[in-house]
Structures are given as structure tokens and as C-alpha cells.
Amino acid sequence: MPAVPSWVIEPLWSQFATLIPPIQDHHPFGGHRPRIDDRLIFDKLIQTLVFGVSYAKIADQFCSATTVRRRRDEWIAAGVFTLLEQACLDAYDKIVGLELDNLCVDGCIVKAPCGGEVAGPSPVDRAKQGTKRSVLVDGTGIPLGVVTAPANRPDSPLLEPTMDTLSRFGFSLPDTITVHLDAGYDSTKTRDLLHTLGCGWVISTKGTPLQAGRRWPVERTNAWHNRGFRKLHICTEIRAIVIDAFIALANAIIIIRRLIREAWPTHRWTTRPTRKP
């Protein structure tokens, strides 16, 4: 069973391949082992992301775990994963359209058994090591930005850096934006921040029964992250930049999958699935 269906992975790889920087060969005589194909490394990173396995588990006679890590770090340094996420968002906005007048933000705590730069005692798991993802989505659940932090960080202080992730894409924002938040953000500081940003808000009140409202898209996106990508559900990476790279890759897969699903009834292309995904 493939980690990701071919109708998702092929357009994703086509875009990814265009973002890989040219190879710089500094050896004076060119005497070195042949470079492992980028597509092979890409497929192994997808397997690691989806199945949550270690690099040693996906290593074989064609590619070692060290090669996967080294190539991953090369691509991270070149900003390939961030550029891929941005390209997917731009394509979705052009073809389908992002619903930016209603934004949702929420935090999601996952296990981080290996610790790391963004790990801390989890308040929902007996103070074991955990990581929090503060997720920003549009009105339909398309992930727009994610900020990682230790699990013991409150949601409210993470709202400002989470909202700042929207600016890196350079979208033309609507005049009126409403941000939907749960009771963890019910504070004067949150309202002052949203007022400064020129946004309206719908915030659940503390001490009252759960009010769903328009917050279901971010809850669904958190489920997409945790149920579809075991690497995000149990975070075993130590460095924050690696975690962010895997999150960007997962977001790209989610966006491409939603784009194909939304465009299937109205667009035609050569690799279009025969049935609606």
C-alpha cells in the first residue's frame, strides 16, 4: 500500500522537483559516488511522515538513513519545504479560492517522547514530554500556518506568531476578517491583539458549555494532521526546523488533496483520477 495515492504524490513531486536547487559539485576531479536520486529520497521522506517510522527502518541497499537525513537537511536549508507549501497554497487560492474572511486558530498537543527544542511537560499527559502546534486555517480548514512550541505553553500567547504566519504568503486579505477561537483564548490580551490587527472575533466564553460555532474546520485539520501523518501524531524529531519541514510537507499534501477533490468536477487534466477522490 503506497504512503500517498499516486494522484496526489505525482503533482506534488512535479512541483517539489522544480524547487530543488542545482547540485554544486566542488570535487576537483569529479571522483565520487553517484548521487542518490532525489525522487527516491522524497519517497522515503513521505513514508517517514505518513507511517512515522525511523530513518533506519526505511533504509535499504539503495539508500542509507544517513543519506536521507543529509538530503533532508540540504532541502531544509534551501527552503524547499516552505516554498512547496506556499506554491500549493497559491495554486489552491487561484483555482478554488481561500476563504480568508473566516479564520480559525487552535492548539493541538501531541507526544514528543524524544524531547527536543519544542518539547515540554504536557498538561494533558501527566507532564510527559509533548509538543504543541498552534494551527491557523481558513474557513474550510485549509492550513495557512503552524507555530510549534512546548506543550506547556498557553494558547493565547501563541496567537500573535500564528497570525503572523499569514503574512509570509502575501495574500490579498479581505477588508473584514473574523477569527474564531475557543475558550482558551478568552482574555483581554487576545481581544486587544485582534483589535490591533483589525480583525473581528468570535470567542467561546470560559466556564460555559462548549460552543462549537465555526471552529470545526481547525478541529478537522488537527485530525488530518494526527490521523494522516503519524510523524506529527508522535513527534520524534529533536530540531524545530525539521519538525516545521515535516509540517509544511504534510500541509502541502493536505492542500493538494483538497485541491484535486474540489477541482475534479470542474477541471480536466491528464492525471485526473477516474473517480472523485
* Closest among 249, 190, 254 to 220, alpha carbons compared: 254
| Structure confidence at residue 119 (pLDDT) | 96
Measured in whole angstroms, how far is the alpha carbon of residue 140 from the centre of its chain? 15
The CA-based angle 15-20-22, given to 5 degrees, is 135
Q: What is the mean pLDDT of the chain?
A: 91
State the cell numbers at 178.
473574523
Beta pairing class for 143-150 and 178-181: unpaired
Range list of β-strands (E), 177-230 = 178-181, 200-203
pLDDT band of 166, cuts 50, 70, 90:
confident
Report pLDDT digits (tens) over 122-139. 999 999 999 999 999 999
Cα atoms found within 13 Å of the Cα of residue 255, Cβ hemisphere only: 29
Helices (H) and strands (E) in the chain, counts: 10, 6
> Domain map of the chain by residue range?
1-24+34-95+240-277, 99-238
Question: For residue 115, is it left (φ>0), alpha (ψ between -120 and 50) or beta?
Answer: left
1 pLDDT above the threshold of 60: no
Q: For residue range 74-127, list pLDDT tens digits in order.
A: 999 999 999 999 999 999 999 999 999 999 999 999 999 999 999 999 999 999
Cβ atoms of 214 and 14 within 8 Å: the answer is no
Regarding predicted confidence, which is higher, 234 or 210?
234
Position 30 scores a pLDDT of: 64
What is the arithmetic mean of pLDDT over 148-164?
A: 94
- What single-letter amino acid sits at 56? A
Angle of the 6-19 helix axis to the 80-95 helix axis, nearest 10: 120
pLDDT at 256 over 70: yes
**pLDDT confidence of 210, banded at 50, 70, 90?**
low
- Output the pLDDT for position 31: 63
Residue 19 DSSP symbol: H
Beta bridge pairs of residue 180:
104, 202
- Secondary-structure class of domain 99-238 per CATH: alpha beta
